[in-house]
Structure formats: C-alpha cells, structure tokens
Structure 1
Amino acid sequence: MSTALRPSACPGLLRIVPALDGGICRIKLAGGAISAAQAVAVAQAAERYAGGVIEATNRANLQIRGIGEQQSALIAELLAAGLGPSTAAGDDVRNLMLSPTAGIDPQMLIDTRPLAAQILGTLQNHPRFHQLSAKFAVQLDGGEALAMLDHHHDLWLSAFAGVDGPCLAFGLAGCPVDPPLGAVALEHGHRLLVAVLELFLDRARPEQTRMRHLLADYSAAELLARLDLPLLEIEAWARPTTPAGLHIGSHPQVGGGRVYVGAVTPLGRLDPTLLRGAARLASEWGDGNLRFSPWQSLLLPNVRAEDGPEVCRRLEQLGLLCSADRALAHLVACTGSSGCGKGLADTKGDALQLAALLQRHARTLEVHLSGCPRSCACAHVAPATLLAVGPGRYDLYLRDAGQPGFGALHARNLSIEAAGALLDARPRSNLDA
C-alpha cells in the first residue's frame, strides 16, 4: 500500500499516533467482527511490538497502545492477518457502526451485513470519499434489540417495515431515536449513502468536517431537496430502545438453539492472554469469531444454548465481566494521566476504586470518568460524568437534556470517596443500569 496518508490526529492501522505511553494503533473492525485467528494476531502484535495493552473502543474497534520503534513490523503483521483496508487511503473512512448482533438478533428486521459490506467497499475504494474526516461516521441499524442508539453519527439509516417491504429511515447528525428526515426503500440504501456523502463534499467548506457543521449553513430541507432519490415520507417514528444488559451474559439468537455470550472488558482494557483466551473459547464453543460492541464488550456468537453458562464461567475466569450485577461492568474511563498528556487524573485507577465502593452497596450505576473535557471514552452523554480537575479530584455532572456537554454540574472538586458517597446516596433512578 503506497498511497500517502493525509495528516490526522486520529490513529489508524497505518498511522501510529504518539501518546505518553507510546504509539497508538487503531484497528477498525467491519461491524465489530474479528476472527479468532485475527484476534490472536492482534494479541501477538501487542506482545511483540508494544506494551501489551489492548483496548476495546466505544466504536467497536480495537486499539494497541504503547507501541515502540517497530511500528512497521506491527503494521505488516496486522495487514498480513487481513485487518487492514483495501486501499491505504481508505483506512480513515471505515467508520460504519452496526449492531454487534447483526444477522443473528431475534428482533432484527433486516440482516444489515450485505449492505454494510457494500458501503464499506464504496468508502474505501471511492477516491473522493477519502476526503472525509477520520471522524465522519455512518450508522446502519437493522432494528436489532441490541443496538447502540445514543451515539451521534453524521448519517444514520434505520430499518422499518414499509408497506411494500423493508425500508430505511435516515437522518443527519443524530441517531435512530431522533425523528428521521425521510426514508428510502431498502434497495436504495447504498444509493442514498453515496448521494449524501457527495452532497456533503460538494457543499462543505474545508473547515466543515462533520455533518453538524454543514447543517449550520444549510437546513436539512435544503439538503434533501438536492438529493435525486425517490424519498418516502414517514408518518410516525418510534425506534424501540435497547433493553439494558443485552451485551452482557447469554442471550438467544434468531432461529433457536443458539445463543450469543457477551462479556464486558473491564474499563475497555484487554491483554494478550485475555484476548487469546477469548479467541480460543470462540473456536471451541462458538463459530470461531468474536464481535466487539460499542459498550466496550465482546460477544461470542453461535454458542449452543446449553453451553452458554459454561462459556460465561470461562470468560469470567479470563477476567471478563459476564454479570450485569458487577458495578465495574457499568463504568467507563478514558486512558487518563497514565497514558495521555491531557489527562488530569488516573481515571482507570480511580474507576476501579469507585467500582469497589459501589459494589459494597450493590449499586450498578452508569458513570463515565473523563480525564479532560474531550470525552474520548464515551461517545454519548452518560447519566453521570466525573470530569477530572486534578489528581484524584473530579467535578460531578448529571445528564440534563436542557444542558449542553456533560449536563448539569452537581458538585465540584470531589474525591473518589466523596463522589461514590454522593452517587450511592441518590435514589434509584436513571443512573442505575
């Protein structure tokens, strides 16, 4: 792959970005899926060429941290495992989110994987789309019960049952719980994507890298009027929300007799031994594949229903979290000051301390610990956010639809003990997972 990469602050497989703890390589997974053999290759590369730290991201990708001088060798090994883009310039734009249960979810209206493959091929192989920002992202939702519906995307498409067959509702700079702008028949889904991306590149100024920036200059109606497509109107829209906990534990797949088993990676962190162990379980008990999720969890699909409890037990033995009763399974924390120059606190260590405090009182709260205002670890606003203001000190925000950013400021300059006490004292509410 000789195509030159454009400058970007975002890591990719072909672009190693420096951090306090070494280089970061981001491996973008198609629909979050990776074979057991590829997972072993990631574990081996992290061991050979880095510090052995592997992260599951909130976009269902993997990252290797602490990469040293042998960057070229690491990239070559991952490319040989089939984890790279079809074209070098296409690496940045492989930003398509699916449900981690695409194709196997009992509630799905369509199997999104064929259309997803078509979209990913176009993004990688259409030279003009390589101009898109490395943060520009698309979501394709098949109506699954397990779907991340809170992450905003530049373009989202969501399946529903039309009068004449499956259709795709769509929207800009939002997510499938928002009112859609319109809809197309399923067979026009790829054409819609191409038309929207070309319209964005036609109209956006160089500094306008995201769809929300373009919508500051043009109304959605103005943009829709420029789409040469047979658009459908939607009289009513109500995307069913995702029940809590479907990414953790054993859950039925479509067709009966099989389950997928979900396990949370503690604070998004894995090591080579853990990843190898999960890959081995996927080969021995499943179909030889793993799926990562935007909840920083992994799924083993196509496990026999009667084997689900044993697979959960073995995943727990590896150090993963298979029970929604574990407080740690509901906490999110960025890299923090141990690996990031912008981090003001050791968020990972503080999150472990907070989890222990909450576990004593059997509280499972959705809490996000962020080392700085950039909110790298959480792509949506959590019910509670602890924003670091110094080592071991945090401001507490509670989600409020009427407030921008993290929400309403509830308390300042708290220790982890004080934050834990405040959170534990709150009545059972939407903070509870």
Structure 2
Amino acid sequence: MPDTPLKQAQPLDISPRPSACPGLWRIVAARDGGICRVKLPGGALSAAQAEAVADAAERYAGGVIEATNRANLQIRGIGNEHAALVRYLLDAGLGPREAAGDDVRNLMLSPLAGLDPQRVLDTRPLAAQILALLENTPAFHQLSAKFAVQLDGGEALAMLDHPHDLWLSALTLDGEPWLGFGLASSPAAGPVLGAVRQERGLDLVRAVLEGFLAHARADQSRMRQVLESMPADTFVQSLALDLRRDPAVLGWRRARTPVSWLGRLAQSSGRALGVAPPLGRLTPAMLRGVARIAREWGDGSLRLTPWQSLVLPHLDEAWQPAAVAELAALGLLCADDQPLARLIACTGDSGCAKALADTKADARALAALLGPGAPASVHLSGCPRSCAAAHVAPATLLARAPGRYDLYLRDPHVPGFGLLRGSDLTLKDAGALLALQTEHLDD
C-alpha cells in the first residue's frame, strides 16, 4: 500500500482538541505504547481493510489489536511512527481525511443490520446519512469524542443495554415503520420520548444534536448532564419537530429476543457466523484468518459487534464446519459454551497505569474455575472506570491489588456495579462464589 501525501499540513497525531479518548487521528499514550482507535461505520469492515489493520499493527506497533465494546478496532503498543500509521489506515479507507470529522463518528448498529430476519427496517441507508451529517457538519465537531448515537432496526441480534446520548429504535405504528427515540439511556431501559416516521429520522438526529449544543453549558459534554438541569420533556418540547407522542408511542417498549452472538447466526438469506477473540484481543494472524475466510467462503465483508466479537455474513453453509475448525485453530471462540466467552477484561496493569491487577491474565485463570452456575457475563475491571464494559455486567470483579478482587452482583436497586458480595477475594474464592450465583445467569 503506497504512502501517498495527505492534504493536512498539521502533524497527523494532533487532534483539533485535547481528549483522553483515542481516535484515528489521535494516538493516546498508555503504559504499553500508543493506542489508535479505528471507528468503523456501523461496525462494517472489508476483508482488505481487516488485512490492512493487521499489517499496520505489525509494522507500526506491537501486534496487539482489540475489538471494542462499541464495535470498533484499536491498535495498541504503537511506537513513534504515528504519521505513517495514520496514513496507512487512511489509505485503506478506514477514516475521514479531515481530523475534525473522526471524533464524532460514534454510531452503533446491529451487527446484522439489513440482514436480521427480525428487523423492522434496514438501518444502513439512514446510518450512512447520519455518519455524513456528523462528519461534514462543522458545528457537530464540537460534540464530545464520547457522544454516542445508536440506531436500532428491531433486530434480534442487538445490543440493547449500552447507554447512548441518543438512540433511535424502529417500531411499527399503523402498519408502517416509525423511529422512536430516547435520550441518555438505552433501548432496553427507555423511556421512549417520541417518534417520527422513518423518512424523518435524519431530521430527528439533526434536531437533537442542535438542541444539545444549544442547551449544553461548557462543562456539559454528555446528554445525561444536560438532563440533570433540564427535564427530558422540556428538552423534547424545545425541538422544532412534529413528534408523535401518543400512548402507543410513549408506552412502547423494545422487545428483547435472547440470542447468542457466537456460532451460527440467522440472517434473512443464508447464515452468518459469529466468532470472538478471547477477552477481545486479536493477533494479526487471527484477523488475517477471519479476512481470508470472509473472502473465500463469504462475501468479503466483516462486521464488528459490541460484544467484542466479529460476524462473517453470507458465509456458505457448506463451508461453515471447515471455517469453524480453521478459526478455532487460530484461537478464536466459536461457541458461547466456552468459559472465556463469558468473560470481559480491561487491559490491566500490563498496559494501563491505573489498573491494580493483570486482569487479562487473571481472566484466563478464572475461566478454568467457573462452573455452570456462574453468570453469563463476568467483568474483570482493573479500576472503577470500567473501560471494558459499557453497561453493568451481571457480575463484576473490581481489582484492589494483584490477584485480589471485590465481587459485585448487578442489582437494579443498587447504583454502580451492584451489590457487594465478597471483598478482597482470591481468584479461587471468586470462582467458588460465582458458581453459586444461578439467579444471575442472564445478561
């Protein structure tokens, strides 16, 4: 891939504004080197782009690639060649050529958007419009690099628990698709604050973003902060939109269909395959292997998921057993009954100065101790920031020292991680306690 000149005169590792949140244009320092986050459009990635990420991780960094809980990729352990790395990724079509437009590309879709048999509508055309709006509207470049939008098409395979500053969810009213929306919450928790017809979805997003910028003080970077000083109904009424807010809308709740994101996945025509790198961490060989199978036995496309996994859509069913065997040989998880598929862990003290334990290594040790009664999702966090999980997991192990953790179980009546069930536990003690928590099986 040639290193072609870029239009920007500024150094490529300088963002238009400071932030601790990494991006394509902003390499953030960590204990194990720089971090570059590649924000993918709706999680979509071509096989060629996956290979470019693998090449870049080897050429300019230490070969560590992570799948994030917002369906993006990030490269860790980056050395001093920041400009060359960014140029390489830009040449692969992995971000905008204007730095200011990269921060705000925070739009999450279902990993099977447009393909899920349960979908109410195909969200991809509207998603493309929203991304163009965010990238190309200078006023919206003021938004925080963490300001997030979700577009939910009613799919069975959908992350419904991550909180977003704005979310839109498809519903059917009078036999037609509409888009309900909520603020500073998640589709699972609601509430729905109003709805517009499908074709007015872009107008709704524009109005909410403009309203946020109009009402937010300098110290308010997220929607939840604005709503602390302004009731949600007041904010909604300030929008210059014709919203439907009758009981059919305000009383609607997003239905949840339990479905695994690993193994064979249903799509409207054929099958997809879900695979996961253990604890969200990919090697270049893993990513190249997934890309090769997607090209040879699929349609050459991949999709990242908010479960730190990947989906290979349109995979030829006749070749799926061979694909699973090859991917498993690379170290990828292909079924949700594997213990590591139930664990989430942050970078830990090998890469983060704030972490109090080596959470990645501890998670691998804990996997061997988990019994069938343990929660479906256990999160090991090196510090209270909870970087690896965007919502509270059924069980959280919060590090307090190397190899020692406090155990919390999610409880809707208790803020934060939930109810403290054990303090200063060894991994063996934590595994024994987790095995007893049969009432917390569902995530």
Q: Deviations over 1:110-159 (max 9, x none)?
A: 00000000000000000000000000000000000000000000000000
* Residue 41 of structure 1, CA deviation: 0.4
Deviations 1:341-392 (A, max 9, x none): 0000000000000001116x68563100000000000000000000000100
Q: 5+ unaligned residues in a row in structure 2: which ranges?
A: 1-6
Q: Which residue of 2 aligns with 1:120?
A: 131
Secondary structure, in 3 states, of the residue corresponding to 1:74? helix
Residue 242 of structure 1 and its aligned partner are, at CA, apart by 3.7
Task: Within 5 Å, give how 1:407-426 maps onto structure 2.
Answer: 407-426=418-437
Paired AA for residue 354 in structure 1? L
Q: How does 1:51-200 map to 2 (within 5 A)?
A: 51-163=62-174, 165-177=176-188, 178-200=190-212
The answer on 1:249 being equivalent to 2:259 is: no
Size of the aligned set, in residue pairs, is 428
Decide whether the 8 Å contact of 2:117 with 2:266 is kept in 1.
yes
SS at match of 1:267: helix
CA distance in 1, matches of 2:180, 2:330: 41
- Residue 375 of structure 2 contacts residue 434 of structure 2 at CA under 8 Å; is this kept in 1? no
Conserved? CA contact 2:156–2:259, under 8 Å: no
Aligned to 1:13: 24
- 2:348 is equivalent to residue 325 of structure 1: no
Deviations 1:190-223 (A, max 9, x none): 0000000001001100110000000011111111
Pair 1:431 & 2:441 matched: yes
Match among 246, 253, 267 for residue 238 of structure 1:
253
Cα distance in 2 for residues equivalent to 1:128 and 1:353: 48
Amino acid at match of 1:430: H
Q: 1:363-378 counterparts in 2 under 5 A?
A: 365-378=376-389
Deviations 1:155-203 (A, max 9, x none): 0000011215210000100111212001000111100000000010011
Determine the C-alpha separation between the residues in 1 that align with 2:339 and 2:439: 15
Check 1:304–1:405 CA distance in 2 against 1; reply closer, same or farther (3 A cut): same
Q: Equivalents in 2 of 1:38, 1:224: separation in Å?
A: 40
d(CA) in 2 for partners of 1:104, 1:431:
28
How big is the alpha-carbon RMSD for the aligned residues of Structure 1 and Structure 2? 1.3
The two structures have a TM-score, normalised by structure 2, of 0.94
1:228 aligns with 2:214: no
Secondary structure of the 1:94 match is coil
2:202 aligned partner, one-letter code = H
**Any conservation in 1 of the 2:275–2:311 contact (CA below 8 Å)?**
yes
How many Å apart are 1:432 and its aligned residue?
5.4
CA contact (8 A) 1:250 1:312 kept: no
Asked if the contact 1:290–1:300 (Cα under 8 Å) also holds between the matched residues in 2, the reply is yes
TM-score under structure 1 length normalisation: 0.96
Asked whether the 8 Å contact 2:104–2:134 carries over to 1, the reply is yes
| 1:87 Cα deviation from its structure 2 partner | 2.3
Correspondence for 1:33 among 44, 62, 69 = 44
Offset at residue 429 of structure 1 (A): 2.2
Amino acid at match of 1:248: L
Q: Measured at CA, do residues 432 and 199 of structure 1 come closer, stay the same or move farther in structure 2, by a change above 3 Å?
A: closer
Structure 1 unaligned regions, length at least 5: none
**Mapped pair 1:389 → 2:389:** no
Distance 1:315 1:212 in 2: 41
Amino acid aligned to 1:120: L
Measured in 2, the distance between the counterparts of 1:381 and 1:57 equals 16
Does the 8 Å CA contact 2:263/2:273 hold for their aligned counterparts?
Answer: yes
* CA distance 1:391–1:411, change in 2 (3 Å): same
Counterpart of 1:303 in structure 2 is 315
CA–CA distance in structure 1, aligned partners of residues 150 and 207 of structure 2 = 16
Letter in 2 for 1:237: W
Is the alpha carbon distance of 1:190 and 1:432 closer, same or farther for their aligned partners in structure 2, counting shifts above 3 Å?
A: closer
